[in-house]
Structure 1
Amino acid sequence: MQHGESRILLGLTLVGAVVRYWKIGRPSSVVFDEVHFGGFVSLSRQSRFFMDVHPPLAKLLITLVAWASGFQGGQFDFKDIGREYGPDHVPYIAMRLLPATLGLALIPMSYLTLRALQLRPATALLGALFVTFENGLITQSRLILLDSPLIFFTALSVFFWVGFSNENDVARDRAGRVGPFSRRWWAWLTLTGLALGAVVSCKWVGLFTIATVGVFTLVQLWLLLGDLRVPVPLLARHFAARAACLIAVPVVFYVSMFAIHFAILSNSGEGDGFMSSEFQHTLRGHGMEDTFADVMIGSRLSIRHVHTQGGYLHSHPATYPGGSKQQQITLYPHRDDNNIWLVLNSTADGSIPDPETHAPPHPIPDRTTIVLHHPSTHKKLHSHDIRPQVTEVDYQNEVSAYGFEGFEGDANDFWVVEIDQAESEGRVAKKQLETLRTKFRLRHALTGCYLFSHKVKLPDWGFEQQEVTCNKNPSRENALWYIETNTHAMLPPDAKKVNYRRPSFLQKFAELQAVMWQTNQGLTDRHAYDSRPHSWPLLLRGINFWVKDHRQVYLIGNPFVWALSTLAVLSYAGVRGLLILRAQRGYKDFAHSQVVFYDRVATFLFCGWFLHYAPFFLMGRQLFLHHYFPALYFALLLTATAFDLATARLRPRVRLVVVGALVAAAVVAWWALSPLAYAGEWTRAKCDRAKTWGKNWDFSCADFHPSVRPSPSLSLSLSLSPSLSLSCESATDLDCLP
């Protein structure tokens, strides 16, 4: 940087602080996804396990601020948008300051990155001010959300990578030859790896940043491979250094964040149901005592489903509203006395003897026909040729609990145990029922269907618990069950006992990654404000975050800045295509150093934009405008690069005038839409004028006052003065300002 640029950075930081921090406590109630991320912070402060589709770093940072502010968690329920923070002393302003500060740091970071790309100070100033006054980035950074940390670490990765690339190009050893393995070289490379680890530890979108750096790492190595002056041992060192710093370091950083995550979330919580039983039993409050291994006739046991996060086979004193109108059978994720079943043997004549007559107890081998009695309601697990209430298809039958105290039951209560030997663990478990180790199916003796569950939830009348049916053609995994707990009054205390095998950290880590992926892929339901990638560069619609008291927070970008960024992307594609055509025709454009320089910088930024944007077209999950923000950052840097090229022949003062004009236009657009970012007062007329810039913008102008309300003193003076006939319906906004 040139002498005096530190004052530019200071000025940018001060302006950015005003723009990012202005009235950050407004609104003073829960906004949009603060419902989720504020709730996760609360659970973290209670050490209660939760499941989120995003890695933990950004949430850990916000939790750290909440801890430093004295927030204990549990005293405030974040579950409702619009709920006021005030009465419960939630340090929401401090929690919002973390993303806001990282959003502020993005401004000088963009300036430093453009300067590191060897662009002019005026160009870097323009790019940084575009970032400063980008309404979408402002709105997203002022709330308890994860996108501001994500974008900051994306920018930090880019800055460190550019610094490393510069050092790699100019480093010299003592003999004057190119010697890249200096301390500065290693520092830039290691910092790049740490930043990549941080960005992917905020959201998996950070993988696109890793891909960007990865592509240009391969380019560097490819050029080294083609340089015959580089000996093979030195080439191997280059490969090893990049593998260590750009692969191993991010992986270690990412895994370390989950180690901290697991250490904090050590108690059982609302996320237990997503995880396997083995995982759950590593959490305090969810462990269980050793239980008898051998399952006997007369055992009291709990039965869990193998596939769908292992809910318990459950019944309760509520009936189906239709069908047989018998007692409901469901899958329930929590421990409960209603999960307990007494296993009985059936007899040839169809009668069901008292379990006390089975002394001594005997095991249950494969193909045994049993009856499952529900002690708390005195009914038995039952099925018949009646369609279920929700999955009403011919090949599925209703499963119910049927009978009453003293009733022996009937043949529709008979179930045949079929042990799955491939899934069962151990020689004994493959031959007879063994707690935890045997995986088995239950076939209904009369109809031939199998006890089955899937991820379909029952309506309110079923308490939104998971549906259980009897399926004549089930998928293998959804018909598998196992026994978790097993007691028997007649087994000696020293009989063989078992418990869950405790998974290692890496096993828990791998399982959570798989659950996060599956859950992420399952987010396919439409949302009122979701959007598809083709609409993002055109800023066709935003997201309604919050509406209350005639104010609104609506995520929308700065239309002027957004338009320039999209134009810059299209211009690069067009100019690059033209240069390729000219090269094919024999023109020597790439013999000019200026063309080579701008092509190198613009190609890097365009690839960053493309790799952070194009993958979203492959996704079927819910997507929103804020998913475009990392790509937008690259587009804004590319806009500044295009400006640098376009004004290359202008005198510095003229260039500064152009910068001033462009920034002024950006500030006007920012100010026009600022009430949507700051939850400020707005009139319907101003709202309607703003919507003319984007015909598809769906924020509601009807939510605002017809005009700005006057202060009580002004209203009183107007009413006392007969000579004044102004009213806020007819007066200008200035006349009606309090």
Structure 2
Amino acid sequence: MALTLFALIIRLFRISNPHEVVFDEVHFGGFATKYINGQFFMDVHPPLGKLLFAAVGLLGGYNSTFTFKDIGDDYLASHVPYVTMRLLPGFLGVLLVPVSYITLRNLGVSNISAILSALMLTLDNGFVTQSRLILLDSGLIFFTGLTVMMWTDFLSNQEQPFTFTWWYPLVMTGVSLGLAGSVKWVGLFLVATIGLSTLQNLWTVLGDLRVTPRQYVHHFAARALCLIIIPGFIYCFLFQIHFWALPNKGGGSGFMRPEFQSTLRGHEIEDTFEDVAYMSKIHLRHHATNGGYLHSHKHDYPTGSKQQQMTVYPFKDENGEFLIAPPLLVKNDTGYVVPVTKLQYLKNGDIVRLIHVKTGRKLHSHNVKAPVTVNDHHWEVSGYGDDSWNGDTNDNWIVRIADKSVSHDDPRPIKAINTRVRFIHVNNRHCGLFSHDKKLPEWGFDQQEVTCAENSGRPGAVWLIEANTNPFLPPNAKKVNFKKPGFFAKFIELHGTMWSINQGLTGKHPYESRPIEWPVLNRGILFWTEKSNGPRQIYLIGNPIVWWTSTITVLSLSVLLVAGVLLMKRSVPILSNLALYKTWNASLILFSGWFLHYFPFFLMKRQLFIHHYFPALYFAILSTGVIFELLTHKLSRASRMVLAGAFLAIVFLVYLDFSPLAYGNLMHRHHCERLKWGKHWDWTCLTSPEDEHDIKPQVAGKVNHIDDHVMKPIWDKAKLPRVDNSSLAGAGFQGPPIPTWTGA
């Protein structure tokens, strides 16, 4: 209880500061808004954390009108209950501290060693920062810690199988395992951690001569039920809640296939005519990546032909509308087009031009290398010509049904949505309209690259025709009709799209880092700076003493494990010592937890940031208590308390020194510069006051939160005098403006 109270003070101190949108609150606050409004969105993370933010937002009276559009947007002006929403990760961060303590006690670690790790966790500035904002990481790490706590509780009750004290922690391990994986996919790494420990546990049970074969089957079935079926059910059920909560069309609808979109209210799929004909206005959806629609805009390639860009864009808008026009014909070296005056259905094998409706440019390819994929098999696709010029034959494309059972000369009609098609370039019959997961650089707005790729039979050259309208079709023409998908079909499709988007996050970011840098705390992330380059900032950086110590201790665990295995092979009774046995057993769980939450990131090529290390860091911090236990178990209790106290005093002083970066408090420039222990710690000190004496006049900058939306003011707003903030400018006032009531 003392640890929890101390953590409550550390984690929730001035949690209302700043009263502006910080870092990824842009995303997760925005997703909570979409849940409340029921607007379908797309995110790479499972739904639990965002559902919880939406729930606490509703409980706090949030009216779901704030957009969370930009970092620095003011919460107070829009009466957003942001403090209530921040309290959710705040309390989860607080509860993680007693969870860590209980976990180590379950592993047989002494009280002093468990307190040591728990206080290191409490005083880590990185964990403090993460647990004070509307972010998913606090929930992920809490459920990770809860899973390990319940599992170690289960392991400590092995002598009482199939009793309540045995079943309860086993069931709760499965429940919390499902919850961890439902916040972020990183939580699924925990499945491997618990799985390895389960195999070791089952091996131990198998070696127990008191356990009959029938009883062993029951042991296996109990673990399968609790650790596979229960987490799987929870994970699936939360996605069902996700679908129930988002019944309406929204910004993420364009990522999903037409069948999925048909399950959303307000969709446009049922208004699509089935028959496609010349002069139809269509949207072309890329089938293989599910990345969006063929798209163009009034921006040119900076290289190659320097003609208008053609891309794939996730959302259906007017820049994705194309007209199916008849081909350009050539006679006597003169190009001409046969006008369309009546309904002419589009058939397999027809030659067409695709004209971008908004700019009049034709879909075009030629003997110019693609902008990103510059090998011999990819050619640039661009927008060429305009309304005043017919263009050339490089604008002509053959439409083919993407079905091997349909021959090239089969004049089968092309249908919207239900017919998958390819567009083969007329002047290069081996080249087809193609897209893949590669993104264009910043000049292409990070949109998906489109090329004309040889070997046009590959999946990336398949497209769907959507949103088909035609002036020659009668109003009662047949509309597209298809069966709406059920839960599992939607579940599978959504996961495929989430995975595809996740893998596509490969662009550069100024604060990204690689896994090799994380254990040594090479760099952090700038979360927020005060508007107009003010002196306050929030920078995600851990407590260096905590990080470096935990890295040393978790690597020590690996040495301990290897040494234990080698000595056992030589029949050396090292594990007959109780302290050594407890340490070795705890090392198996903690080191596997650290390794399995850290090593997989080395295999990823997507954007990575230091906050991805926090689940692994949790296990590393717990390992410090285990190593301290091993090194000091023969010392007196007083000596151990002195050693632990001295170390924690250093940790606390470093926490205080770095705390302005976690809480967004003011600090003078000398202090700010002194904190830059690492050469890559790149927060700014240019706007900080010159020395501590300059801070005192800025106390007025600490906003008096007259309405932080935890409760309504009890005074009459009409009687509150208007404050003229401009009068403070000449008095050295550098903080955010004092909130004023409009219409007073």
TM-score of the aligned structures, taking structure 1 as reference length? 0.83
Select 1:534's aligned residue among 516, 531, 546. 516
Shift of 1:386: 6.6
Match status 1:705 vs 2:699: no
For residues 376 and 17 of structure 1, what CA distance do their matches in structure 2 show?
57
Name whichever of 36-45 and 308-317 sits farther off. 308-317
Shift of 1:508: 1.3
Select 2:379's aligned residue among 387, 396, 405. 396
Alignment of 1:456-471 (within 5 A): 470-471=452-453
Does the Cα contact within 8 Å between 1:315 and 1:401 map onto a contact in 2? no
1:328-359 CA-to-partner distances (Å, cap 9, x unmatched) read 76656324497252554888967544433x4x
CA spacing shift, 1:129–1:458, aligned 2, 3 Å: closer
Does the Cα contact within 8 Å between 1:346 and 1:369 map onto a contact in 2? no
CA spacing shift, 1:501–1:646, aligned 2, 3 Å: same
Name whichever of 184-193 and 365-374 sits farther off. 365-374
Shift of 1:204: 1.2
Shift of 1:663: 2.3
1:408-459 CA-to-partner distances (Å, cap 9, x unmatched) read 88756543322222498x9999933222222222334345454445567778
Shift of 1:221: 1.3
Shift of 1:91: 1.7
Please name the residue that 1:721 is paired with. Answer: none
Select 1:550's aligned residue among 523, 527, 535. 535
Select 2:675's aligned residue among 674, 686, 690. 690
For residues 539 and 315 of structure 1, what CA distance do their matches in structure 2 show?
42
For residues 385 and 453 of structure 2, what CA distance do their matches in structure 1 show?
19
What is the DSSP-based 3-state SS (H/G/I as helix, E as strand, rest coil) of the residue aligned with 1:205? helix
Percent of paired sites with the same residue? 45
For residues 200 and 34 of structure 1, what CA distance do their matches in structure 2 show?
21
Select 2:286's aligned residue among 277, 280, 305. 305
Select 1:32's aligned residue among 20, 23, 38. 23
For residues 531 and 397 of structure 1, what CA distance do their matches in structure 2 show?
32
Select 1:234's aligned residue among 187, 197, 215. 215
For residues 189 and 373 of structure 2, what CA distance do their matches in structure 1 show?
43
For residues 605 and 321 of structure 1, what CA distance do their matches in structure 2 show?
51
Select 1:643's aligned residue among 628, 634, 648. 628
Equivalent residue letter for 2:555: L
Q: Mark the runs of 5 or more structure 2 residues left unpaired by the alignment.
A: 700-744
Equivalent residue letter for 1:707: D
Alignment of 1:665-676 (within 5 A): 665-676=650-661
Please name the residue that 1:617 is paired with. Answer: 602
Match status 1:511 vs 2:493: yes
CA spacing shift, 1:613–1:458, aligned 2, 3 Å: closer
Shift of 1:498: 2.4
1:475-527 CA-to-partner distances (Å, cap 9, x unmatched) read 63333233324455666666554234422111111112122222222222333
Please name the residue that 1:480 is paired with. Answer: 462
Select 2:83's aligned residue among 88, 93, 99. 93
Task: Give aligned pairs, total.
Answer: 689
Structure whose CA Rg is larger = 1
For residues 634 and 403 of structure 1, what CA distance do their matches in structure 2 show?
62
Please name the residue that 2:155 is paired with. Answer: 165
Shift of 1:34: 1.7
Select 1:214's aligned residue among 191, 195, 217. 195
For residues 551 and 263 of structure 2, what CA distance do their matches in structure 1 show?
50
Name whichever of 255-264 and 457-466 sits farther off. 457-466
What is the DSSP-based 3-state SS (H/G/I as helix, E as strand, rest coil) of the residue aligned with 1:482? strand
Match status 1:189 vs 2:170: yes
CA spacing shift, 1:522–1:416, aligned 2, 3 Å: closer
CA spacing shift, 1:327–1:27, aligned 2, 3 Å: closer
Shift of 1:248: 0.6
Alignment of 1:345-384 (within 5 A): 352-356=337-341, 358=342, 361=343, 363-370=345-352, 381=362, 383=364
For residues 235 and 409 of structure 2, what CA distance do their matches in structure 1 show?
41
For residues 319 and 700 of structure 1, what CA distance do their matches in structure 2 show?
36
Alignment of 1:87-486 (within 5 A): 87-167=77-157, 169-171=158-160, 180-296=161-277, 301-309=282-290, 311-313=292-294, 333-336=315-318, 339=321, 341-344=323-326, 352-356=337-341, 358=342, 361=343, 363-370=345-352, 381=362, 383=364, 385=366, 387=368, 390=371, 396=379, 398-400=381-383, 402=385, 404=387, 414-422=396-404, 431-448=412-429, 449-453=431-435, 470-471=452-453, 474=456, 476-486=458-468
Please name the residue that 1:678 is paired with. Answer: 663
For residues 669 and 472 of structure 1, what CA distance do their matches in structure 2 show?
59
CA spacing shift, 1:453–1:643, aligned 2, 3 Å: closer
Equivalent residue letter for 2:286: H
1:186-215 CA-to-partner distances (Å, cap 9, x unmatched) read 221111100000111111111222211111
Equivalent residue letter for 1:253: I
Name whichever of 150-159 and 495-504 sits farther off. 495-504
Name whichever of 306-315 and 671-680 sits farther off. 306-315
CA spacing shift, 1:288–1:514, aligned 2, 3 Å: closer
Does the Cα contact within 8 Å between 1:420 and 1:441 map onto a contact in 2? yes
Shift of 1:700: 3.2
What is the DSSP-based 3-state SS (H/G/I as helix, E as strand, rest coil) of the residue aligned with 1:702? coil
Equivalent residue letter for 1:261: H
For residues 363 and 621 of structure 2, what CA distance do their matches in structure 1 show?
65
* Cα RMSD (Å): 3.6
CA spacing shift, 1:698–1:234, aligned 2, 3 Å: same
1:152-208 CA-to-partner distances (Å, cap 9, x unmatched) read 1111001110111122x221xxxxxxxx11233222111110000011111111122
For residues 615 and 300 of structure 2, what CA distance do their matches in structure 1 show?
52
Name whichever of 587-596 and 303-312 sits farther off. 303-312
For residues 75 and 348 of structure 1, what CA distance do their matches in structure 2 show?
57
Shift of 1:568: 2.0
CA spacing shift, 1:108–1:398, aligned 2, 3 Å: closer
Does the Cα contact within 8 Å between 1:277 and 1:310 map onto a contact in 2? no
Name whichever of 79-88 and 185-194 sits farther off. 79-88
Shift of 1:324: 8.3
TM-score of the aligned structures, taking structure 2 as reference length? 0.83
For residues 25 and 17 of structure 1, what CA distance do their matches in structure 2 show?
14
Does the Cα contact within 8 Å between 2:273 and 2:468 map onto a contact in 1? yes
Select 2:8's aligned residue among 5, 14, 17. 17
Does the Cα contact within 8 Å between 2:276 and 2:414 map onto a contact in 1? yes
CA spacing shift, 1:423–1:101, aligned 2, 3 Å: farther
Select 1:588's aligned residue among 573, 576, 579. 573
Does the Cα contact within 8 Å between 1:225 and 1:235 map onto a contact in 2? yes
What is the DSSP-based 3-state SS (H/G/I as helix, E as strand, rest coil) of the residue aligned with 1:162? helix
Does the Cα contact within 8 Å between 2:349 and 2:409 map onto a contact in 1? no
Please name the residue that 1:652 is paired with. Answer: 637
Please name the residue that 1:176 is paired with. Answer: none
CA spacing shift, 1:430–1:99, aligned 2, 3 Å: farther
1:380-421 CA-to-partner distances (Å, cap 9, x unmatched) read 84647474895696863554464648x888756543322222
Equivalent residue letter for 2:126: G
Name whichever of 488-497 and 313-322 sits farther off. 313-322
For residues 611 and 13 of structure 2, what CA distance do their matches in structure 1 show?
21
Does the Cα contact within 8 Å between 1:388 and 1:399 map onto a contact in 2? no
Does the Cα contact within 8 Å between 2:279 and 2:324 map onto a contact in 1? yes
Shift of 1:146: 1.1
Name whichever of 107-116 and 532-541 sits farther off. 532-541
What is the DSSP-based 3-state SS (H/G/I as helix, E as strand, rest coil) of the residue aligned with 1:418? strand
CA spacing shift, 1:242–1:70, aligned 2, 3 Å: same
Shift of 1:299: 5.1
CA spacing shift, 1:471–1:607, aligned 2, 3 Å: closer
For residues 157 and 674 of structure 1, what CA distance do their matches in structure 2 show?
30
